[in-house]
């Protein structure tokens, strides 16, 4: 029995030594130390031993068991450590490798320009107002002195949705709505940026959808000089201190007098070039003194209040500022064009 126990001990220790993984090791534990294992089997024959031999054999059996058990424990630790080391080696991260860049979006050129213009006018005490892109015929035309059938409606070919609703053709309806909301009381000083829509054929300088920024100031004693001074500040801040502005007589049914406003060409400094078509001036916006009838329709007393208004095309301003030669770049989403106007700029 003693020999058999020693033999089993040797066998078990060799198997433990050879075990390559935790599963194999567990199988060894079960087969040698389990209740149905060979050691238990051998010990069943203890009853046949003499009273003297029995405790000796019991002690030997315990020793064999303990030695196998501690060999298994030791090996288990070794295998577990090896497994952790292998995992760490496999998952090693080289922190010195260059990272893959995270792609970030950028501000759209038009957003940048709108924000710049907003900041400029907010600095002069204006607040930003918003209107509706789907507008009623009344606010888009009638409240601006353009009754149904008025020939000047042709100046802004429209996308009608129903007889009385259309995609707004300009941001001027916000003038009418803001004045009406004020019920003829107190001053108004707003700018209103937004999208507008016209049945214009797309080309290098025209788009069927574009952006405008409307400005409106109504108070007692507002004059054309205020309009000119305001636009001069705008032109110089936007395009440089050396820029001049020029007002040319024009016609808008909602302003009287009306003007087209030109800015001296930034490219040639006013000498004449292909961009300004040799004139030295570039048209950027329409403006004028708010027509007394428009004031009246919105509830203002034109004998007491006067006002000026202007409306500029945002794409045209951006084209001038950044030297962009085709308005379609703003809408064709070429990433090479768009990423030039990154937020960090």
Q: How far apart are CA 167 and CA 77, in angstroms?
A: 77
> Quick one: which segment of 118-126, 187-195, 198-206, 267-275 binds ligand FA5 (CB under 6 A)?
198-206
Q: Does 288 bind ligand FA5 (CB under 6 A)?
A: yes
Among 75, 170, 189, 266, binds ligand FA5 (CB under 6 A): 170
* Distance in Å, CB of 212 to ligand FA5, minimum: 5
Among 37, 173, 253, 311, binds ligand FA5 (CB under 6 A): 311
* Distance in Å, CB of 316 to ligand FA5, minimum: 4
Q: CA torsion, points 334, 336, 342, 345, in degrees to nearest 10?
A: -140
240: phi > 0 → left, psi -120 to 50 → alpha, else beta; which? left
Q: Does 306 bind ligand FA5 (CB under 6 A)?
A: no
Residues at the annotated binding site for Mg(2+)? 256
Q: How many residues bind ligand FA5 (CB under 6 A)?
A: 24
DSSP 79-135: HHHHHHHHHHHHT---TTSPPPPPP-----HHHHHHHHHHHHHHTTT-EE----SEE
> Quick one: which segment of 80-88, 126-134, 238-246, 282-290 binds ligand FA5 (CB under 6 A)?
282-290
Nearer to ligand FA5, 69 or 250 (CB): 250
Number of H helices, E strands in the chain: 11, 10
Q: Does 285 bind ligand FA5 (CB under 6 A)?
A: yes
Q: How far apart are CA 31 and CA 45, in angstroms?
A: 19
Residues found near ligand FA5 in the complex (CB under 6 A)? 156, 170, 172, 198, 200, 206-207, 210, 212, 214, 252, 255, 285-288, 309-313, 315-316, 327
């Amino acid at each position: 029995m003693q020999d058999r126990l020693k033999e089993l001990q040797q066998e078990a220790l060799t198997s433990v030594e050879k075990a390559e993984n935790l599963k194999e090791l567990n199988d060894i534990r079960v087969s040698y130390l389990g209740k149905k294992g060979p050691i238990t089997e051998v010990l069943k024959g203890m009853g046949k031993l003499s009273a003297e031999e029995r405790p000796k054999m019991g002690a030997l059996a315990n020793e064999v068991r303990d030695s196998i058990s501690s060999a298994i424990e030791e090996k288990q630790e070794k295998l577990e450590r090896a497994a952790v080391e292998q995992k760490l080696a496999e998952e090693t991260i080289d922190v010195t490798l260059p990272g893959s860049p995270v792609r970030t979006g950028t501000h759209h050129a038009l957003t940048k320009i709108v924000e710049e213009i907003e900041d400029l006018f907010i600095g002069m005490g204006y607040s930003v107002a918003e209107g509706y892109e789907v507008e009623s015929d009344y606010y888009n035309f009638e409240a601006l002195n353009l009754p149904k059938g008025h020939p000047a409606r042709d100046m802004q070919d429209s996308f009608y949705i129903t007889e009385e609703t259309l995609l707004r053709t300009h941001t001027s309806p916000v003038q009418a709505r803001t004045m009406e909301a004020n019920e003829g009381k107190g001053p108004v000083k707003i700018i209103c940026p937004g999208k507008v829509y016209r049945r214009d054929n797309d080309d290098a300088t025209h788009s069927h959808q574009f952006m405008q920024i409307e400005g409106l100031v109504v108070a007692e004693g507002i004059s054309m000089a205020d309009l000119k001074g305001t636009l001069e500040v705008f032109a110089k801040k936007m395009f440089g201190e050396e820029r001049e502005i020029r007002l040319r007589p024009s016609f808008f049914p909602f302003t009287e007098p009306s003007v087209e406003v030109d800015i001296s060409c930034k490219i040639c400094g006013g000498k004449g070039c292909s961009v300004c078509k040799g004139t030295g001036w570039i048209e950027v916006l329409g403006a004028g003194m708010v027509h007394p009838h428009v004031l009246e329709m919105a509830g203002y007393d034109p004998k007491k209040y006067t006002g000026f208004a202007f409306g500029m095309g945002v794409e045209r301003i951006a084209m001038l500022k950044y030297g962009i030669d085709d308005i379609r770049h703003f809408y064709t989403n070429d990433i090479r064009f768009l990423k030039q106007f990154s937020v960090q700029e």
